[in-house]
Amino acid sequence: MKKLLKAVLTATLVTAMLAGCASKKTSETDASVATGEGREELVFVNYRDIRDLNPHLYAGEMYAQNMIYDGLIDMVEGGFEGALAESWEISEDGKTYTFKIREGVTFSDGEVCDAHAIKANFDAILENSERHVWLTMMSVLESVDAPDENTFVIQLSAPYYPMLTELSMIRPFAMISPKAMKDGSTMDGVTEYIGTGPYILTDFVTDEYAVFERNENYWGDKPEIKKITVKVIPDNQTRILALEKGEIDLIFGKNMIDADALQNYQDNEKFSIALSDPTSTRQIVMNTTHEILSDKNVRYALSYATNKQAISDGIFYGLEAVAETLYAKTVPYCDIDLEPFTYNAEKAESLLAESGWTKGADGILEKDGKKFEIELLYNSDSVTEKNISEYLQSEYLKLGVKLNIHGEEEQSYRDNMKAGNFDMVFNISWGTPYDPQSSLSGMTGPVYGDYAAQQGLEDKAEIDEAIDKIMLSVDEEERQELYEFVLTRLHEDAVYIPLTYECNKAIYTSSLDGVGFTQSQYEIPFTDMFFK
Amino acid sequence: MKKYIINRLLTAIPLLLAISFLCFVFINIIPSDPAEVALRVNQVAVISDELLEKTREEMGLNDPFFIRYFNWLADCIQLDFGISYVNPQRTVLGEMTRSLPNTLMLAGISFVLVIFLSLPIGFFCAVYKDSWFDKIMRGFIFMTTAMPAYWVGLLLMWIVSIKLDLLPTSGIGEGLKSLVLPSVTVALTYISTFIRLIRNNMLDNMKQDYVLYANVRGLKQKDILTKHILRNSLHTCVVAVGMSIPQLISGTIVVENVFAIPGLGTLCIESIFNRDYPIIQTYVLFIGVLFVTFNLLFDIVQCAIDPKLRKEEA
């Protein structure tokens, strides 16, 4: 019997050794891929599949749509740049936009991309206009026309200033080959993903990988990297390990890497990290219709009692900067001088005393026999929000404020937020390129929690009116003034406690260069990347 | 015997109905409005009331509860499980059949590992009870039962793929080689369970009278152990082994996600995150049916191979 045991053990050992030898071979080939010299292939990773890349619907990954398709124009720092439209003119009344279409551009299936093809795309988009009502331009868009093959005209019923911003959005305004449409329509799907962009989708296996190859007929500057493979790895930790192993070259995105991991790679020779300008603002929204929070003094007190620096350092390792205002100063029209609510516990205390709150026997503030007890709602899927909630709970308690924290899964958290069922709630601004125009616009209706939260403001009607005016303004100076008015009011009304600015993060093998960020947080500028 | 099988088959029907009903109820008591969820997962930024009403009508959500249930059930019987919310181009059935092979592959390899490792180890542990081998194995069982699968997975990945550079970290790009780590991870917990089961069963059997008689009859020790004790111990393991198959198929969820294997588990987790209700519903139903089927099957198998049970039934 002992012999048998020995035999089994030996067999196991031998198998293990054989397995070891067999796999050695491929790891050598892997190693040659990991060094940068002359590489033209990049392996990128995403947490999910590319899904449906129909550019006129919203069910696909934006970075991939951005690789395959072009729009009329691109948003760049400080303005816009022509893409499929070489140049454009806006009539004096702000209602007619005339685009001169770039000549000689073809889709990757050989179809010509002239004004008629663009008209066909707009027709397909407008056929499904109900789906795009979130874009304010849809409500003012009157007609589109292609008088000749190089001219494309959009006629609006009223001037609308963020028109170009909305047109630069990859969806729904990216152009697909009319041949890939189903009888000129895209709302029920497309037959192929054919665009004019720098890359062509050549292969994909759902939930496994997608391969993009350089479009050799691309109208713009050809990217250095010839082939991009996107692997699907849903788990955060596994992605990091795959990067360590050299199986992937780049991790990119807001929620693809957690702060702890990023911290580990800060001074690493093999890997580099990059952080973008603020993309969006993490904030707490206070419900101004709430019995206690309707008092502006109280809102001020809570703003002063929030130690943002401690949150930024303690929870984000300083990787998310402190947010002083609702929108970062780098956001268009938002470079305004506002006095920040810098952490000041004494001031908070005196403000609360001013409003008549006194500490009871149990250390909790009281007023007219009522305790200072409020609830903070957070998305229980987000560990970060839970951490911040717990921190604030202990901080506020020092003041005598009893903060009950309450987590709900994402959908019901959103439902509650929209319905206004909250005292305080976590929120993240829409982010680039939707800030500030689209997110402010969203405050005028029950889209997110903002509308409900602001109902208690005396000047709510005035603020809404100013927001509506911004959208219709044709004069740059007037627009800036209106923005200043709205943002100053919201700041002084202290509806929001801005916490930190979220930013886009990238971590990549050091042989890769040119990793940067664009004006939209959902785009990945592969075209600028190259291997050293 | 025939009567027993027919009986068992008949009781399975109300059980399956109950599972389908529960499955439907659970999805329906989630407080969120499925129409709104469907719109939100497609990133419609502004969801207007008209749009909601239209979507509800399209999805048949305005019908009374039982009508919806019976419609759904009737569709399910015809293998029409609906369309994914997230990607309306795809049917739930298509998504399930796309992911199933990978999960079956992973579960299959794990199953083979479980059987081939736990059988000899369990056997030797019982034969050499309290020897160093038995003690090490008991320690091993103790440890692996306490370690969560995702952690074991990451640990293996770190040691085997990164430190030793032997195998790929994740994905299924390198065929069988990519499946080594995930299947070991899945198998570990089951191996421990089965080693313990076989070991204890054998120890129990060793105390039986028939072993004494066999010894008296002067049979070879080897024959007593393999032909009598092991065989008798395995009878009781059959159901556990049978039930481990659906357990393995459903238990790959976490491991698939960690190792980026595009199987049923990944599909399920993704659907949970996206609130893709039709897929979640079908997945739960599928796993439920799987358990009932295997339970039924192995009850019958056990009855067939174990004369004692057969006698009781008769």
Using alpha carbons, select from A247, A32, A509 the residue that is nearest to residue B174.
Answer: A247
Contact A241 B275 (CB under 8 A): no
Minimum CA–CA partner of B161 in chain A: A245
What stretches of A136-249 adopt beta strand conformation (E)? Answer: 141-148, 151-156, 199-205, 209-214, 227-232
The answer to whether the CB of B166 falls within 8 A of the CB of A20 is yes
Using alpha carbons, select from A454, A419, A422, A438 the residue that is nearest to residue A327.
Answer: A438
Concatenating the DSSP letter of every residue in B34-54 gives HHHHHHHHTT-S---HHHHHH
Report the residue of A43, A245, A264, A414 to disrupt the B interface, i.e. the one with the largest count of B CBs within 10 Å. Answer: A245
The answer to whether the CB of A79 falls within 8 A of the CB of A85 is no
Contact A415 B180 (CB under 8 A): no
pLDDT at B310: 66
Q: How far is A394 from chain B (nearest CA, A)?
A: 31
Q: How far is B78 from chain A (nearest CA, A)?
A: 25
A415 touches chain B (CB under 8 A): yes
B69 touches chain A (CB under 8 A): no
pLDDT at A18: 43
Q: Which of residues 422-441 of A touch B (CB under 8 A)?
A: 438
Q: How far is B155 from chain A (nearest CA, A)?
A: 10
pLDDT at A152: 97
Concatenating the DSSP letter of every residue in A447-463 gives TSHHHHHGGG-TTHHHH
Q: Which of residues 107-126 of B touch A (CB under 8 A)?
A: 120, 124
Q: Which of residues 255-314 of A touch B (CB under 8 A)?
A: none
The answer to whether the CB of A415 falls within 8 A of the CB of A450 is no
Residues of chain B predicted below pLDDT 70: 41-47, 309-314
Minimum CA–CA partner of A235 in chain B: B258
pLDDT at A213: 97
Minimum CA–CA partner of A230 in chain B: B171
The answer to whether the CB of B299 falls within 8 A of the CB of B309 is no
Q: Which of residues 36-75 of A touch B (CB under 8 A)?
A: 48, 51-52, 57-59
Q: How many Cβ atoms are within 10 Å of A224's Cβ, its own excluded?
A: 17
Q: Which of residues 176-235 of B touch A (CB under 8 A)?
A: 177, 180, 221-222, 225
pLDDT at B61: 80
Q: What is the 3-state secondary structure (H, E, C) of A479-520?
A: HHHHHHHHHHHHHHHCCEEEEEEEEEEEEEECCEECCCCCCC
Amino acid at B207: K
Minimum CA–CA partner of B269 in chain A: A234
- Measure CB to CB from residue A58 to each of B44, B157, B171 and give the nearest one: B44
pLDDT at A28: 38
CA angle A87, A152, A185 (to 5 degrees): 130
The answer to whether the CB of A480 falls within 8 A of the CB of A336 is no
- Measure CB to CB from residue B165 to each of A27, A208, A232 and give the nearest one: A27
pLDDT at A364: 93
Using alpha carbons, select from B5, B2, B3, B92 the residue that is nearest to residue B300.
Answer: B5
pLDDT at B46: 63
Q: Which two tokens stand for residue A331?
A: 């956001």
pLDDT of B265-293, one tens digit each?
999 988 887 778 889 999 999 999 999 99
Using alpha carbons, select from B110, B115, B118 the residue that is nearest to residue B196.
Answer: B118
**Chain B residue numbers touching A206 (CB-CB < 8 A):** 98, 262
Q: What is the ipTM for the molecules in this complex?
A: 0.85
B163 touches chain A (CB under 8 A): no
Count CA atoms within 13 Å of residue B94 on its CB side: 9
Mean pLDDT per 10-residue interval, chain A, length 532 residues: 51 46 40 60 93 88 95 90 95 94 95 96 92 84 95 95 91 94 91 96 94 96 96 92 94 86 88 92 95 94 96 90 93 93 94 93 91 94 89 94 91 84 93 87 84 93 93 89 96 95 93 92 92 92
Contact A1 B221 (CB under 8 A): yes
Q: Which two tokens stand for residue A134?
A: 């979130």
A-B CB pairs within 8 A amount to 127
Count CA atoms within 13 Å of residue B64 on its CB side: 2
* Distant-in-sequence, close-in-space partners of B165: CB < 8 Å, separation ≥ 6: A27, A245
B299 touches chain A (CB under 8 A): no
- Measure CB to CB from residue A412 to each of B31, B43, B167 and give the nearest one: B31
Q: Which of residues 10-49 of B touch A (CB under 8 A)?
A: 30-33, 36-37, 40, 42-46, 48
**Chain A residue numbers touching B33 (CB-CB < 8 A):** 415
Contact B46 A133 (CB under 8 A): yes
**Chain A residue numbers touching B174 (CB-CB < 8 A):** 26
pLDDT at A129: 86
Q: Which two tokens stand for residue A49?
A: 């599949």
A189 touches chain B (CB under 8 A): yes
* Distant-in-sequence, close-in-space partners of B81: CB < 8 Å, separation ≥ 6: B75, B91, B92, B93, B96, B278, B281, B282
- Measure CB to CB from residue B87 to each of A20, A51, A133 and give the nearest one: A51
**Chain B residue numbers touching A238 (CB-CB < 8 A):** 154, 157, 169-170, 258-260
